[in-house]
Structure 1
Amino acid sequence: MKELTITIPVKSFKKFDNPYDSKAMAAKYQFFVNVADIPSEWLEWLSVNPREQKLTTDVARDIAKSLRSSKKNFHVLNRGILLSAEEVTFDNKEKMATIKFLNPNMHGIVDGGHTYRQILKYQEEINPIYEKYVQVEVITSFDSIEELAEARNNSVAVDDKSIEELRGTFDPIKRIIENQRIQGEKYFDRISFRQNEFWGNKDVNNIIDVREIISIINMFNPILYDPMTPIHPIQSYTGKAASLNKFLKMSPLGVKEEDPEYRNAVIEKLTKIIPDIFKLWDDIEVNFAKVSKELNRRYGSKPYSNYGKDNVKKISMFSNVEMDYTVPKGIMYPVVGAFRALVCERDGQYDWTISPFNVWDEKKEQIVTSVLESSAQFGNSPDKLGKSTLLWDSLYNMILIYRITNEMKNS
């Protein structure tokens, strides 16, 4: 993206020098702009905003209502638009401000994206009925854009994943899976890394929250859950926000502070198995009900299978293929999580002691039987299954015993 320099008429222009150093480049500018003069070119400079703009929220509707009101108080009631920019200059004679953007990762609309988009919609109307002004605030030379975004985006809470996306926290995982396909489906293109990311995009369905991705990876992370101990990653099922927090706070033993470099190094060591984890999930999700049918276990009679319910769309999470049955996550997490017993460290990288796909193929009937018997005991409640230490124990021990037996045969 090329740099952008826009000159607009403004009122009440004020510059606030850095209070610690008046000669420093970092400064703050405030002024009012007629909404008719707000430039549409800023639409391409929204990547520094941690949330996508969803115009059907109550907040967005209130902004639109205020814009179309005859009252002359929009500039007072609305928080305005916050920009991060390289430079701001002001022509006092012409009352024109010039704002310069250079880097799309540092410059653009940090806060006020909903206000900005509603203003653009208002401009589309033939000669907007009422003259309105919006406050524009510009920060220059600020070196931590994610910190600024986190501080300012708090009128409607920005979820943690959006802030972490700005920080580049998910970049190591992105590099591992961005070109991966499962049954021909590039699932990376459906992962939501920011709040409201795919809102309004009818071409994207079956969206995957990045916190789900993190929760699944966590189960196989030996730093968080030693694969040789029965301390089960039940939290991956019960709390996506807590799982993200656990991931973020990953640090060397005895160190309390977050250590991004250490965290990235751990993810790097997981490079080989991460794509397999999601393929394994898909293999189990797509085939679980088929195995049950082969065993005459009547999976379709379970209320959570949603069999025959045309109003419930049953699609596999990663391959995005339509299925006849739903396999709840209360089943998926303990089943997939059991395969962490196969993780080992080899040549400085995490690897499988034996192919998880071969183990699933060997043990699938026993696994499905164990799950369905537990389901009956818990009143066919997937949530109780997902939280059952007994089920996690049973499945984990099944896979661990298979691993140990296999190692003994080959020793």
Structure 2
Amino acid sequence: MNTQLKFKVNALRTLASPYKKNEKEEATSFETIYYLLVNMKDLPENIPLDVNPRVPKMGTNVAKRLINAVVEPETDFYINNRGIVISAKSLSFNSVDSEVTIDIGNQDDESDRYNYGILDGGHTYTAIIQNRNRIPEDIEKYVRMEVITNVINITRLSDARNTSVQVSDIALFNLEDSFENIRNAIKDENYADKIAYKDNENKPINISELLRLMYAFDVVKYPDDSVAPIQSYSGKAQVFKRYKDAYDTPFYKSLTKQLPVLVELYDLIERELSLKYNEYKKKLGVAIPRFGSVKGVENIEKGTKTNYLQNRTNYSISSGYIYPIFGAFRSLLRFDEETGEVSWLFNPLEIWEEVGTSIVQNTFESSNNPQLAGKDKQLWLSNYRIVETQSLRKLLKRR
């Protein structure tokens, strides 16, 4: 059941997407920004913070100054403070009662929980909720809120808004040598010295990228075709939280050893996706497929290089297309609880050669928007079933 936040506002302004050309275009494909001015006493309690990459720490000096700003008798808080940013499914406004209703999805569903809620301003929100009863009775204090609906890429938005200079959770985790298993797994790979484990480290691949690859193959959390690890594409905070909770378990220790295979598979898909696209288009009778004209694909005349292995390619492809394909090969991974080891039912690189064209066709015929494709659960699951079906065929041939 979806959570509805209903509260009064002092003012509301709407900024529609400049890319929506007319009312006939599908509303859910475009972001809308709502600017609200809210009396602190009307702010609803228990707005979820899971989508926010930071957990509010109210004992710091910065937090204490924030609390003081909430309770002091000055009325310029809404001017001085950046406010609260909420990602939501929808917002409606009752102009008669000056009341908004904000839909933040089903918070019991993991996908909604890590896509809707407060993604910036968690400290501001916590300071207000915990201390608004201390505001002088004769003073009304307001906070700015920004509600954005239909956010396509929650990770990019979260990264852009959470720009305060501080040591990240990932960097602190690294100080405890908790990435040692990863270092050992990739020590012989040519990209081993290109991984950034620290904040502001001048290296091309952030450690979070490797965590995303493993999350997409988390067969303990996502064991079958009823669930999909969509957060590997869209939820950096959830990916890190899962690694932090599970990195020392037998499963994750064994999965980490497979990182070289996962990187090679991702690189192969990135490098050959254009070829598979052309193959399926030609089978449909398209004489000259135009992969470079697909939304989210850039044809680079002088060529570019793949993300991990730096192989030459002519296309820069949005990961929103790659991840639903990459994650489908999770169906080939098995985890033996008795031995604590993972193994492959079949080599994923070989299966890619066998079903790559079909899975690419399924992906591009399901969506022509990479950001929507990356979050499309049904696309993830249907791709998974293509790989699973191929593995079953091969098993039957063995008998």
Normalising by structure 2, we get a TM-score of: 0.54
- 1:196 is aligned to 200
Structure 2 distance, partners of 1:409, 1:276, is 25
The 5-angstrom pairing of residues 11-410 of structure 1 reads 156-180=165-189, 186-198=190-202, 207-226=204-223, 228-250=224-246, 261-262=248-249, 265-295=250-280, 296=282, 297-308=289-300, 314-345=304-335, 347-375=339-367, 380-410=368-398
Deviation at 1:215, TM superposition (A): 1.2
Structure 2 distance, partners of 1:333, 1:397, is 15
Counterpart secondary structure, 1:179: coil
Deviation at 1:241, TM superposition (A): 2.1
Structure 1 distance, partners of 2:322, 2:240, is 19
Structure 2 distance, partners of 1:349, 1:208, is 27
Deviation at 1:334, TM superposition (A): 0.7
1:69-116 CA distances to partner (integer Å, 9 max, x unpaired)?
xxxxxxxxxxxxxxxxxxxxxxxxxxxxxxxxxxxxxxxxxxxxxxxx
Structure 2 distance, partners of 1:218, 1:397, is 18
1:300-356 CA distances to partner (integer Å, 9 max, x unpaired)?
12132111476xx74211111332111211011110000000001355410100111
Counterpart secondary structure, 1:333: helix
Structure 1 distance, partners of 2:314, 2:164, is 42
Where do 5+ consecutive residues of structure 1 fail to align? 1-153, 181-185, 199-203, 251-259
Deviation at 1:410, TM superposition (A): 2.0
Structure 2 distance, partners of 1:348, 1:242, is 24
Deviation at 1:360, TM superposition (A): 0.3
Say which one has the larger Rg: 1
1:225-244 CA distances to partner (integer Å, 9 max, x unpaired)?
22x34310001111112210
C-alpha contact (below 8 Å) 2:225/2:381 kept by paired residues: no
C-alpha contact (below 8 Å) 2:196/2:207 kept by paired residues: yes
Deviation at 1:155, TM superposition (A): 7.8
Structure 2 distance, partners of 1:236, 1:308, is 27
Q: Say how many residue pairs are matched.
A: 228
1:199-221 CA distances to partner (integer Å, 9 max, x unpaired)?
xxxxx5xx111111101111212
- 2:101 is aligned to none
Structure 2 distance, partners of 1:279, 1:155, is 35
C-alpha contact (below 8 Å) 2:298/2:317 kept by paired residues: no
Identity %: 29
Structure 1 distance, partners of 2:172, 2:349, is 36
Structure 1 distance, partners of 2:196, 2:239, is 16
Deviation at 1:404, TM superposition (A): 2.1
C-alpha contact (below 8 Å) 1:307/1:324 kept by paired residues: yes
Q: Which amino acid aligns with 2:320?
A: G
C-alpha contact (below 8 Å) 1:305/1:326 kept by paired residues: yes
C-alpha contact (below 8 Å) 1:215/1:240 kept by paired residues: yes
Q: Which amino acid aligns with 2:327?
A: G
Where do 5+ consecutive residues of structure 2 fail to align? 1-162, 283-288
Deviation at 1:298, TM superposition (A): 2.1
Structure 2 distance, partners of 1:344, 1:158, is 36
Counterpart secondary structure, 1:323: strand
Deviation at 1:176, TM superposition (A): 0.6
RMSD across aligned C-alpha pairs, in angstroms? 2.1
Q: Which amino acid aligns with 2:171?
A: S
Deviation at 1:381, TM superposition (A): 1.5
Structure 1 distance, partners of 2:164, 2:225, is 43
Q: Which amino acid aligns with 1:334?
A: P
Counterpart secondary structure, 1:307: strand
* Counterparts in 2 of 1:308 and 1:197: CA distance versus 1, 3 Å: closer
Deviation at 1:406, TM superposition (A): 2.0
Counterpart secondary structure, 2:219: coil
Counterpart secondary structure, 1:324: strand
Structure 2 distance, partners of 1:407, 1:155, is 53
Counterpart secondary structure, 2:343: strand
Counterpart secondary structure, 1:270: helix
C-alpha contact (below 8 Å) 1:307/1:325 kept by paired residues: yes
Moved over 6 A (4+): none
Counterpart secondary structure, 1:306: strand
1:259-318 CA distances to partner (integer Å, 9 max, x unpaired)?
x643xx3333225532111100011101101222334442112132111476xx742111
Q: Which amino acid aligns with 1:193?
A: Y
